[in-house]
Amino acid sequence: MPGFNARQAGDNCKKHLFSSEKSRAVNLEKYNPVFDKFFADLAAETNADYPKLLRTDGSIDMDAGGFEFSDRDKDRQTLADCENFFASKLGQSLDQWKVEHPKAWGVIAEKAITAVLYKVLKNDFLVARTSIYDDYVNKVDDVIIDKENGSIICGLNKLDPVEGAGPDRYQEISKTISFGGAHLKYGVQLKDGKLLRRKLWSLPAFLLSVNTADLEKILPDIDRAGISADELRVVSGLVDSMREQLLVLYGAILTQPINFPEIMEELNREKEELLEKYGEEEWSKTSEGRSWSRRHGQRALAIKLKKLSVTFDKIKNILENLKSQI
């Protein structure tokens, strides 16, 4: 997309959204049993409205009916390969990694972010962890879906699947933007109140982060009835961060004039030319085809981004109403 520079977006993200904090809280793994129960309850509540959507860990169930992918066995092997890679990078056996991984600061922080978002937004938004495949492969951790209009936000946590609180993820967000937004193979969509399971492209993605001090404050509240002032403050901070990212990361896209019918007519004409030139099986594999896919994705992403201010305003209103009740 003209005016968009992925490297500059990444640099801006690193400058504005990452702190230099290095300390990490200790003994947070004691909260894992709390999270096990919390996500089991979350899944039960969500599945009551959307049957068989979530596993007991709160993630989208890639084995549920509706995902009719012929290469699902290949996806399972990809997951096994990823976990072996994560373990080997840390010098651990796979069994060791499976024991130690849930104790990592980053993993617990990821769970806490999803948990507080769910507690605050569950009446108006579907909040879930992505499928394990989309977590490992597509680097998306959470989905937040407006139950009323179907708008989708993808959350990428500022964490690393190998090292927990590892390297900054700003390179990933800039790459995601340059390719037209986030992609979910095991995605879900709400349309007219009905749940659809399908691949999704060109989704707005934002980095979600919590610091150690805030993490320590909200962890004792996770399994308590009601919503604490600290939980509201953390969610408010996440929303403010997403608003900032909308300007910092997506500003070049948002400022481009969009005449969607005209753009789509041009892209469709170009696609027809590529199909005629290369054929149905090969056109998307060519450099021209990949360029077309990227530009198409960026246009679709721009349309969705322009609608997000309404979503953020809705969340802010929810927060204000909840604050007035404390």
Q: What local confidence, expressed as pLDDT, does residue 174 receive?
A: 73
What is the chain's percent helix, strand, coil content, to nearest 5?
55, 15, 30
Based on the fold, state whether residues 200 and 282 are members of the same structural domain: no
Q: What is the number of structural domains in the chain? A: 2
Q: Do 203 and 180 share a domain, yes or no?
A: yes
Mark whether 186 and 286 lie in a shared domain.
no
pLDDT in tens, the chain (326 residues): 444 444 454 454 444 444 434 445 457 889 999 999 999 999 999 999 999 999 999 999 999 878 888 898 999 999 999 999 999 999 999 999 999 999 988 899 999 999 999 999 999 999 999 999 999 999 999 999 999 989 999 998 765 444 433 445 566 777 777 677 899 999 999 998 899 999 999 999 999 988 889 999 999 999 999 999 999 999 999 999 999 998 888 887 777 766 667 777 888 888 888 888 888 888 888 999 888 887 777 788 888 888 888 899 999 999 999 999 88
Same domain, 283 and 313: no
Residue 144 sits in the same domain as residue 291: no
Statement to judge: residues 289 and 211 lie in one domain: no
Q: What is the pLDDT of residue 235?
A: 96
Whether residue 291 is found in the same domain as residue 217: no
Q: Residue 19: inside a domain, yes or no?
A: yes
Please give the residue range of the domain that contains residue 288: 259-301
User: What CA–CA distance (Å, rounded) separates 12 from 170?
Assistant: 9
Q: With respect to residue 121, please indicate whether it lies within any of the assigned structural domains.
A: yes
Q: What is the pLDDT of residues 38-84, one digit of tens each?
A: 999 999 999 999 999 999 999 999 998 788 888 989 999 999 999 99
Q: What local confidence, expressed as pLDDT, does residue 167 receive?
A: 47
Cα–Cα distances in angstroms (integers) from residue 92 to residues 32, 158, 160, 282, in the given order: 21, 23, 16, 42
Report pLDDT for 260: 63
User: Strand, coil or helix: what is 256?
Assistant: coil
**Co-location of 63 and 85 in the same domain:** yes
Please check whether residue 102 lies inside any domain of the structure: yes
So what's the pLDDT on residue 1?
44
- Residue 140 forms part of a structural domain: yes
β-partners of residue 195 are 190
Classified as helix, coil or strand, 261 is: helix
DSSP 158-224: S-BTTTBS-S--HHHHHHHHHTTSEEEEEEEEEETTEEEEEEEEEE-EEEE---HHHHHHHGGGTTS
Assess if residue 1 is contained within a domain.
no
Q: Judge if 270 and 187 occupy the same domain.
A: no
* Residues 148 and 268 grouped into a single domain: no
Both 160 and 285 in a single domain?
no
Task: Say how far apart CA 8 and CA 17 lie, in whole Å.
Answer: 14
Q: Is residue 38 part of a domain?
A: yes
Q: Are residues 241 and 263 in the same domain?
A: no
